[in-house]
């Protein structure tokens, strides 16, 4: 059984599902409204919605014959929190690399005689 984070990322891996979530981020929509911009059948859109629903990214409600869909942000917040840890790590690594590159590209020190002395290693 995959964990929630794996399920979330698996659902987000498909560009159609990401487009559906982007549309739902602007407000609730019916399945038909969500299907309009895509060149696929309603059953195909429903399959994508089922994946999103199982991942907890979308909730559906019924109003007579219409099924309304709404985005659910909790799984996205969890994924964002997980990604944030790695973003901070890699930003620090890039900062360290930038600092290192700045030290190896400094001009050699002048020893006062016009001759340059070799730069000391750290």
> Domains, the chain, ranges and CATH?
4-73 (1.10.10.10)
pLDDT: which is higher, 16 or 85? 16
Strand partners, 61: 68
What pTM, to 2 d.p., does this model score? 0.70
Query: What share of the chain in percent tops pLDDT 90?
Result: 57
Report the number of secondary-structure helices (H) and strands (E) in the chain: 5, 3
Tens of pLDDT along 19-37?
Answer: 999 999 999 999 999 999 9
The number of beta carbons lying within 10 Å of the beta carbon of residue 58 is: 23
pLDDT: which is higher, 19 or 97? 19
Which one-letter DSSP state was computed for residue 117?
P
Distance CA 83, CA 88 (A): 9
Distance CA 111, CA 118 (A): 10
């Amino acid at each position: 059984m995959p964990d929630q984070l794996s399920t979330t990322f698996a659902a987000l891996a498909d560009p159609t599902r990401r487009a559906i979530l982007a549309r739902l981020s602007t407000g609730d929509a019916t399945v038909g409204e969500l299907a309009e911009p895509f060149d696929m059948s309603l059953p195909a859109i429903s399959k994508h919605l089922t994946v999103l629903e199982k991942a907890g990214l979308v909730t559906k409600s019924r109003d007579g014959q219409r099924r309304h869909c709404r985005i659910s942000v909790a799984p996205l917040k969890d994924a964002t929190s997980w990604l944030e840890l790695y973003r901070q790590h890699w930003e620090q690594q890039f900062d360290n690399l930038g600092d290192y590159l700045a030290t190896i590209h400094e001009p050699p020190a002048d020893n006062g005689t016009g001759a340059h002395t070799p730069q000391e290693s750290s």
